[in-house]
Amino acid sequence: MSFQSLSGFRDFYPEDCRLRQHIFQVWSQSAARFGFSQYDGPPLEPLDLYKKKSGSEIVGQLYNFTDKGEREVALRPEITPTLARMAGARHRDYKKPLKWFAIPQVFRYERAQRGRLREHFQWNCDIIGEVSLAAEAELLALLDQALRGLGLTREDYVIRVSDREFWRSFLESNHVGEDRAYEFYQALDKVERETPEETRKKLGNLADPTLKFLEEGAHSERLDTLLGLTGSLGLKDAVAVDLKIVRGLAYYTGIVFEVHDRTGKFRAIAGGGRYDNLVQLIAGEDLPAVGFGMGDVVIAELLKDRGLAGAVVQGESYYLVIADETVRPAALGLVSALRQGGYTVDYPLTPSKVGKQFQAAEERGHTHALVIGREYNDSGLCGLKTLATREQVNVRLELKDGRVTGMIPGGC
C-alpha cells in the first residue's frame, strides 16, 4: 500500500521549498520596508469566530470538528478574523495606525482546482485605525513593491480598483434593498465570466444603467482621490479603475481592489479592500481597517509561467571536495571552521571520486567548490572553483578562534 498527499494538499520537495521560501522572503522584506510588523495567531480557532464574520453558511467550507473539550472549532480559513480579535483586544497598547502582516497557512474544504487548493499560505497585510485613503494607497504601493521584488514587471500585472460605496449609492438611488444588493454584487462580479444575456437577466431593470456605468468607466470622488495618491507614489501605470471589482465578501465597506495578470490566464493574484465594521463586529471596538491577501499558489504559477521560478537567487554556498582521503580529518575540521564562520558548507560523508563530488556540488545548487588535497597539510592552500564559470583560483583560509574569517586569493 502506498500513500499520497490528500486532494488539495501539497508536498514540498526541496526545490519547491526554495521557491516558497523565496516568495516568503520577498513578502517579508517588502512589508518590513513599508514599516509593517509581523504577527501570527493560532491555526485553530472557535468556529463561532468565522460564523460571526461570514454567517453559518461558511461552515460548509471549513475543516471543523468538535474537540476533546466538546468545543466547536475550525482550522482557520483566513487570518482576518483572528487579526480583528487580536487588534480589538490590545489596540490601546500600540500607536495608530497598526501596520501588521502575517504569512499563515490557511485551510478551506472546497473543490480543489487550478489556483485554488484546500490549503495554501497567504500573505496578509492590514492597516488598522486609519480612515484616510492614504492607507489604501500605501497597500497598493506595497503590492506593487512585492510583485516587482519577485521579478515581475508592470507589463505582467495590473491593480484594479473599485468602490463599493459607489455601487451602494447607486442601489439606494434605485431603491434596491439589502436583500437584493448581494445578488447585484454577485452578478457584477461575474460580468466577464457570463454571457451578456445572463448578466442582463440577473441585473433585471438595473441592467441598462449598470452596463452604461461600466462602459463609460464612471468614477467616484474616492477613486479620483486614490488615483491621485497612487500616482504620486509612482503607480500611475500600475493602477486602473474597474467597477466590476466588487469582491465577494459582504463585509467590504469602501475601496476594493484585485491584482490580475494582464494575460488573463490566472485567477486574481491578490485582493482586498476596506472593512471598517469587522473589528467592531468581532471585538466590540470601533476601528477602521483595510487590508489584502496574496496566496502562494497563484503567484507561484505566475512566476513559473514567466520563467522566474528557476531564477530564485540563493546565497553563496560551498561544497568541500576532498581530493585525497588522507586529509579527511583536516577537511572535517575545515568544514566546522567554515560553518562557525557563517559559511554554508556541505561535503561528502563517505569517500567518492572527485568527479562525483563536483557533480554533487552542482546538483545540490552550490555556488562554489573548495578543493582540499594532500598539499593542504603543508601549504594551507585550497582550490576555490566558481561552478557557474568553471574558474578556479588558489586561496588561503584565514582562521581565528576556530572560525574561518576570510579567504585570501592567491594564498598571499
The residues spanned by each domain of the chain are 14-41+79-311, 318-409
- Which triple of cell numbers denotes residue 282? 468581532
Q: What is the mean pLDDT of residues 353-371?
A: 94
DSSP code of residue 150 = T
Least-confidence region, from 64-78, 160-174, 239-253, 384-398? 239-253
CATH class as words, domain 14-41+79-311: alpha beta
Over residues 57-74, the pLDDT tens digits come to 899 999 999 999 999 999
Over residues 253-309, the pLDDT tens digits come to 999 999 999 999 999 999 999 999 999 999 999 999 999 999 999 999 999 999 998
pLDDT band at residue 412 using 50, 70 and 90 as cut-offs: very low
Residues 6+ apart with CB under 8 A from 101: 27, 28, 31, 36, 37, 38, 39, 123, 124, 125, 126
Match 508592470 to its residue by C-alpha cell. 154
Count of residues in the chain: 412
Residues 83, 102 contacting (CB under 8 angstroms):
yes
Phi, psi angle pair for 175, to nearest 5°: 60, 40
Residues 170, 220 contacting (CB under 8 angstroms):
no
Q: H-helix or E-strand containing 403?
A: strand 403-409
Separation in Å, CA 81 to CA 32, 110, 297, 307, 410: 22, 20, 22, 36, 60
Residues 227, 253 contacting (CB under 8 angstroms):
no
How high is the pLDDT of residue 83?
Answer: 98
Match 574569517 to its residue by C-alpha cell. 405
Sheet with strand 44-46: strands edge to edge: 44-46, 72-75, 64-66
Q: What is the mean pLDDT of residues 361-382?
A: 89
Match 576570510 to its residue by C-alpha cell. 406
Give the chain's mean pLDDT: 92
Q: Provide CATH code, domain 318-409.
A: 3.40.50.800
Residues 164, 256 contacting (CB under 8 angstroms):
yes
C-alpha span between 185 and 248 (Å, rounded): 7
C-alpha span between 239 and 228 (Å, rounded): 11
How high is the pLDDT of residue 268?
Answer: 93
> Greatest CA separation found in the chain?
92
Q: What is the mean pLDDT of residues 23-41?
A: 97
How high is the pLDDT of residue 248?
Answer: 66
Predicted model pTM = 0.89
